[in-house]
Amino acid sequence: MGLFMHDELDGYDRRILALLQEDASLSSAQIAEQVGLSQSPCWRRIQRMKEEGIIRGQVTLLDRKKIGLNTQIFAEIKLNTHGRSNFTEFTDAIRGFPEVLECYVLMGSVDFLLRIVTADIEAYERFFFEKLSMVPGIQEVNSIVALSEIKSTTSLPVLR
């Protein structure tokens, strides 16, 4: 199977993706009705997009505050020379921390940006001293506390 190109997504595919991003529990029959297809071709389109990796998975989204994860921190990380030459050592360590939800490699004065969630500032302090600061190769960590969330979504803008 060839690589699926975004140009090959037609209006039906895009509407299907938009609906699934909002509610992955919809049946193919429900989706078909909303996009104006019959159930079988709609199901086939969904299966094709799963096979091509456009639909990577279906998950349940949780409200972090309702499960006690009240604090969100963005940590900017600079690596030292050792860290830069042992990139995998750093990334493997970060992947092992459940508190880190996202990690991005950046261009510019900072090497990485992490999004971290903890119960509170004290829990972040423990995470910082017991885990994050122990990762070899880190030169500097700048922790930024998020006060409130203006927008947070998992939905990509698939409709043109």
Residue 1 scores a pLDDT above 50 = no
> Are residues 24 and 31 in contact, defined by beta-carbon separation less than 8 angstroms?
no
pTM for this model (two decimals): 0.87
**Which pLDDT tens digit goes with each residue over 125-151?**
999 999 999 999 999 999 999 999 999
Tokens representing 120?
A: 């509170």
Average pLDDT over residues 26-49: 97
Q: Which domains does the chain have, with CATH numbers?
A: 6-51 (1.10.10.10), 64-146 (3.30.70.920)
Tokens representing 97?
A: 């921390």
Q: Is the dihedral of CA 39, 43, 46, 48 positive or negative?
A: negative
**Which pLDDT tens digit goes with each residue over 63-86?**
999 999 999 999 999 999 888 888
